[in-house]
């Protein structure tokens, strides 16, 4: 059950209202209780509980053997995690900000992603790399980027991005249980916004299934992460102008729920793709191509991308850079009038 | 530490005793004592980086055991080490020949480094893990990878464990806890360290041996891996085969450090330089490091000084960048000749045994080549399997579309995935 669905009910037994951050901690706690192979490590994740507090309390409960600080080396963190996963335990490695992941890029794309394939299935690399990503917190160049496309472009990696607290928990648990390496990217802008109901204990949201965040018939918006609530707001405003907008929260970029995307666009005949990464070669470009290839007979307007700029991520002009409700609305209109 | 110390009655009192006594009065005493290695004859780091200076040796050039250094290995062990080295060399020679004949696409020869690989791998228990670099394929075969399977990998045929996905010399052998590496230099160091951390967390009695070359000591992963190894006291041995050349770049241009071992020391890892062409020295040094790791005392860095006598690979021509006189000099230091002299001296070996061994190896290699070459290529489906645990729909579509162009179907239309 997602937070959006939960809103329509009263709080049920076994549910708790949480922020996304709390839901993420809850997911790790739940899995660490379930499976003693699961460990968590990274910079400042021990006593401090992470710079955002995602690992708060885990060292207290599980000890320093299972939740610990590492030296300040992203390639060391991921390299060690790969060795651990190959050996047979289940590491969750936190990279403090996605902007700092590049020293580990080699370990991710050359090693983790190719482990199963290159060894003919003898060795596998089931691990989760958790990292806050995206703009909206006035973080400037190096605390704001959305570099998900690099990882989506690498065969062998799954890329998961939640947009609600309940999904954050359910998808993270699914990621920890997954047999392949998962990039679990956390939209930090909504870490503490938009609380939602989250099931306590066991809660799994399967990887590879999108979510229809809002049903509609005139135009489909494809989005993920922090853009989902922006798109929902734009859809609401658009409804006042008589447009029925369907909003699809992709939840996982790899594997993509292509059938959900195609079915929706074939139904509506129009498509807007919204992402906050630089526009060129972003994940939205792939979505546009899929829609173009598979929905051409149904399209009644151009597939429109609403995205970040092809610039480094700015500090002061961040609000201008990020897609907002107004830009999404303009994108919707472009699919009708071009 | 006493646990790891074997009877070494014939050796003189090691200098570390002094260090220990002194250390007892200092706050860092415990660390100093632990950092001194348990076997006599270990050189401290920082000695001159000449071939012999500062190197642990057991055998002299003539194959005699240097005074007071006899490791007292069983005859079986000595013969095993010798036979393995001879087999590695013969296999290596034949595979390079296959490459020259166009029967395999690439090969990374080991000639001259047999003692370093065989001696170090032999010092591990079977339950211990090995993370190799390019020139340690022999370790997989020592652990039981059949020759035919090694050649399957070199060919990339349908019986290759890697399913024809990797270049030659990228063996994988899980039953032997031998890890399937990538071609990226140094990344396996962190993996070895991480696996050792995992073993420690799980409480397993497992030590990890991570191989690297001299060039890898410049790579990021060496530095982060060595640092993690030391900080987490992971039960591993980092074994650097300093074969003097990283493709065409000599060690002198790779690093301005006095030795490579000193880099390990800088990270707080007890480090030692060993004569990599002296199989007994390699064996005892590695054995001591393994015991040290097994007893909870953390990692050791070993710099084995050896020499790559052929090119980096079958694609490389070393005459373009190095002096042949240097190669000749190292031919005289051949590790197999040296150890054979030792065995002959002890009357453990003779010409008849040598001939019989070589005939046995030649037959085994011939049979393995014939069997491997009889195998066809990997099935088309293997292009898309093992990317993920479960084959995703988009990959099925991609393969089906391409095969249809060629009038082929995926396994008679029934996708077995």
Q: What is the pLDDT of residue B411?
A: 58
Cβ–Cβ contact A170 with B under 8 A: no
Poorest-pLDDT segment among A130-139, B41-50, B351-360: B41-50
Q: Is the pLDDT of residue B31 over 70?
A: no
Per residue in B369-410, pLDDT tens?
999 999 999 999 999 999 999 999 999 999 999 999 888 766
Same domain, A76 and A153: yes
Residue A45 carries which DSSP code? -
- Mutate which: B153, B224, B401, vs A, most A CBs within 10 A: B224
- Strand-pair partners of A128: A92, A182
- The CA distance from A295 to the nearest CA of chain B, in Å, is 16
Which B-chain residues 63-92 have CB contacts (< 8 A) with chain A? none
Q: Does residue B4 carry a pLDDT above 70?
A: no
Q: Which of A42, A120, A180 to mutate to test the interface with B (most CBs of B within 10 A)?
A: A120
Cross-strand bridge partners of residue A254:
A159
Determine whether A203 is an active site residue: no
Would you say A93 and A81 are in contact if contact means Cβ atoms under 8 Å apart?
yes
Fold annotation for B38-373:
Rossmann fold (3.40.50)
Query: Are residues A258 and B193, on separate chains, in Cβ contact within 8 Å?
Result: no
- Is any Cβ of chain A less than 8 angstroms from the Cβ of B201? yes
**Which residues 333-372 on chain B approach chain A with CB closer than 8 angstroms?**
none
Q: Last residue of a domain, which of A170, A199, A228?
A: A199
Give the model's pLDDT for residue A13.
Answer: 86
- Indicate if A137 and A279 belong to the same structural domain: no
Clarify whether residues A38 and A108 are in a common domain. yes
Q: From edge to edge, which strands make up the β-sheet containing A158-160?
A: A67-69, A38-42, A90-94, A128-133, A182-187, A158-160, A252-254
Q: Where are the domains of chain B?
A: 38-373, 380-413
Count of domains for chain A: 2
Q: What is the CATH number of the domain that holds A224?
A: 3.40.50.920
A206 assigned to some structural domain: no
**Greatest distance between any 2 Cα atoms in chain A:** 60
Residues A26 and A73 reside in one and the same domain: yes
Among partner residues A103, A118, A255, which is closest to B162 by beta-carbon distance? A118
Residue A119 with chain B: CB contacts under 8 Å: 161-162, 172, 174, 180
Q: Look up residue A320 and give its two tokens.
A: 């201008």
Residue B40 has pLDDT above 60, yes or no: no
Q: Which residues of A touch B393 (CB under 8 A)?
A: 255, 258
pLDDT, position A62:
98
Of A70, A87, A122, the CB nearest to B180: A122
In percent, how much of chain B has pLDDT > 90? 83
Per-residue pLDDT at A9: 55
CA B372/CA B50 separation, integer angstroms: 43
Q: Same domain for A193 and A216?
A: no
Given A168, A199, A230, the domain boundary residue is A199
Q: How many CB pairs under 8 A join A and B?
A: 148
* A71 vs B: CB within 8 A: yes
CATH number of domain containing A186:
3.40.50.970
Same domain as A274, residue A178: no
- Residue B246 CB contacts under 8 Å (≥ 6 apart), including other chains: B213, B214, B215, B254, B312
Task: Report, as an integer, the average pLDDT of B206-211.
Answer: 98
CB contact under 8 A, B228 and A71: yes
CB contact under 8 A, B179 and A155: no
pLDDT, residue A119, reads 98
Q: What is the tens place of the pLDDT at every residue in B256-303?
A: 999 999 999 999 999 999 999 999 999 999 999 999 999 999 999 999
Same domain, A44 and A163: yes
Question: Looking at beta carbons, which residues of chain A come within 8 Å of B191?
Answer: 79-80, 82-83, 86, 111
Q: Does B230 touch chain A (CB under 8 A)?
A: no
Residue A101 shares a structural domain with residue A61: yes
- Put simply, the chain B residues between 89 and 148 with a CB less than 8 A from any chain A CB are 129, 131
Q: Is residue A204 part of a domain?
A: no
Among residues A199, A221, A254, the one where a domain terminates is A199
Contact at CB, A258 and B394, closer than 8 angstroms: yes
Query: Apex CA B286: angle with CA B282 and CA B292, to 5°?
Result: 155
A66 neighbourhood in chain B, CB within 8 Å = 201
Can you give the residue range of the structural domain that contains A123?
A: 3-199
Q: B25-33, long-range: CB within 8 Å, 24+ apart, which pairs? A: B33/B1
Taking a contact as any Cβ pair under 8 Å apart, which residues of chain B between 233 and 292 contact chain A?
Answer: none
Cα(A129)–Cα(A110) distance, rounded to whole angstroms?
Answer: 15
Contacts of B223 in chain A (CB under 8 A): 73
Partner A contacted by B225 (CB < 8 A): yes
Same domain for A76 and A30: yes
| Range B110-121 burial, b when 16+ CB lie within 10 A, else e | bbbbbbbbbbbb
Q: Would the pLDDT of B194 be above 50?
A: yes
Judgement on whether residues A13 and A134 belong to the same structural domain of the protein? yes
pLDDT in tens, B11-27: 333 333 333 333 333 33
Q: Which residues of chain A have pLDDT under 70?
A: 1-9
Average pLDDT, chain B: 88
How much is the pLDDT for A10? 72
pLDDT > 70 in chain B, percent = 85
Q: Chain A interface, mutation test: which of B190, B268, B395, most A Cβ atoms within 10 Å?
A: B190
Residues A109 and A161 in one domain: yes
Residue B224 to residue A71, Cβ atoms within 8 A: yes
Q: Distance (Å) from the C-alpha of residue B398 to the closest C-alpha of chain A?
A: 13
Q: Do A242 and A176 share a structural domain? A: no
Q: How far is B100 from B103, CA to CA, in rounded Å?
A: 8
User: Which residues have CB under 8 Å from B23's CB, separation 6+?
Assistant: B29, B30, B32, B33
Give the pLDDT of residue B408: 75
| B51 pLDDT more than 70 | no
Write down the ipTM of this complex. 0.94
């Amino acid at each position: 059950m997602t937070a959006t669905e939960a809103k329509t009910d009263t709080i049920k037994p076994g549910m708790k209202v949480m922020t996304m951050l709390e839901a993420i901690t809850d997911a790790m706690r739940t899995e660490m209780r379930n499976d003693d192979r699961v460990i968590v490590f990274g910079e400042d994740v021990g006593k401090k509980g992470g710079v955002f507090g995602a690992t708060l309390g885990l060292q207290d409960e599980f000890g320093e053997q299972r939740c610990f600080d590492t030296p300040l080396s992203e390639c060391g963190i991921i390299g060690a995690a790969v060795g651990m996963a190959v050996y047979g335990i289940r590491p969750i490695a936190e990279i403090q900000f996605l902007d700092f992941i590049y020293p580990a890029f080699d370990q991710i794309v050359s090693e983790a992603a190719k482990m199963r394939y290159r060894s003919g299935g003898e060795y596998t690399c089931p691990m989760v790399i958790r990292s806050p990503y995206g703009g909206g917190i006035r973080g400037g160049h190096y605390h704001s980027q959305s570099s998900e496309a690099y990882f989506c472009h690498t065969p062998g990696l799954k890329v998961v991005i939640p947009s609600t607290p309940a999904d954050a928990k359910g998808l993270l648990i699914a990621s920890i249980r997954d047999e392949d390496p998962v990039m679990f990217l956390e939209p930090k802008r909504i870490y503490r916004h938009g609380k939602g109901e989250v099931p306590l204990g066991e809660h799994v949201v399967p990887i590879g299934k999108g979510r229809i965040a809002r049903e509609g018939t005139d135009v489909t918006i494809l989005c993920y992460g922090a853009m989902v609530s922006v798109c929902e707001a734009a859809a609401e405003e658009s409804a006042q102008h008589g447009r029925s907008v369907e909003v699809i929260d992709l939840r996982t970029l790899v594997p993509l729920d292509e059938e959900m995307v195609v079915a929706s666009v074939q139904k509506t005949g129009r498509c807007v793709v919204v992402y906050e990464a630089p526009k060129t070669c972003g994940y939205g470009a792939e979505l546009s191509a899929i829609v173009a290839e598979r929905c051409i007979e149904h399209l009644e307007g151009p597939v429109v991308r609403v995205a970040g700029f092809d610039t480094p991520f700015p500090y002061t002009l961040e609000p201008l850079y990020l897609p907002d409700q107004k830009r999404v609305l303009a994108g919707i209109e472009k699919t009708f009038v071009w | 530490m006493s646990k790891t110390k074997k009877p070494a009655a014939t050796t003189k009192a090691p200098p570390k005793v002094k260090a220990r006594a002194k250390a007892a009065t200092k706050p860092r005493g415990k660390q100093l004592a632990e950092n001194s290695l348990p076997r006599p004859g270990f050189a401290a780091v920082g000695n001159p980086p000449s071939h012999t200076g500062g190197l642990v040796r057991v055998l002299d050039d003539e194959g005699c055991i240097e005074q007071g250094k006899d490791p007292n290995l069983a005859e079986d062990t000595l013969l095993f080490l010798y036979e393995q080295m001879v087999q590695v060399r013969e296999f290596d020679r034949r595979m390079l020949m296959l490459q020259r004949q166009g029967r395999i696409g690439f090969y990374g020869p080991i000639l001259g480094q047999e003692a370093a690989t065989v001696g170090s791998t032999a010092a591990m228990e079977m339950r211990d893990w090995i993370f190799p670099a390019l020139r340690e394929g022999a370790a997989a075969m020592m652990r039981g990878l059949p020759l035919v399977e090694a050649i399957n990998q070199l060919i990339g045929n349908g019986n290759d464990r890697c399913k024809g996905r990797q270049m030659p010399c990228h063996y994988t052998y899980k039953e032997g806890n031998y890890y399937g590496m990538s071609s990226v230099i140094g990344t396996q160091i962190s993996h070895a360290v991480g696996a050792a951390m995992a073993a420690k967390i799980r409480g397993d009695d497992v030590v990890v041996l991570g191989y690297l070359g001299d060039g890898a000591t410049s790579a990021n992963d060496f530095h982060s891996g060595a640092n993690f190894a030391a900080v987490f006291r992971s039960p591993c041995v980092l074994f650097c085969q300093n074969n003097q050349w990283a493709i065409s770049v000599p060690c002198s241009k790779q690093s301005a450090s006095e030795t490579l071992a000193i880099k390990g020391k800088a990270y707080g890892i007890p480090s030692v330089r060993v004569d990599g062409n002296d199989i007994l020295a390699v064996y005892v040094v590695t054995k001591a490091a393994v015991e040290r790791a097994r007893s909870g005392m953390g990692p050791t860095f070993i710099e084995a000084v050896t020499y790559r006598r052929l090119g980096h690979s079958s694609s490389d021509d070393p005459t373009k960048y190095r002096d042949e006189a240097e190669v000749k000099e190292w031919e005289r230091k051949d590790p197999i000749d040296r150890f054979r002299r030792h065995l002959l001296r002890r009357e453990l070996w003779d010409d008849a045994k040598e001939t019989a061994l070589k005939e046995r190896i030649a037959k085994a290699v011939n049979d393995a080549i014939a069997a491997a070459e009889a195998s066809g290529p990997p099935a088309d489906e293997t292009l898309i399997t093992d990317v993920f645990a479960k084959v995703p729909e988009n990959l099925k579509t991609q393969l089906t579309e391409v095969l249809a162009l060629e009038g082929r179907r995926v396994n008679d239309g029934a996708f077995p995935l």
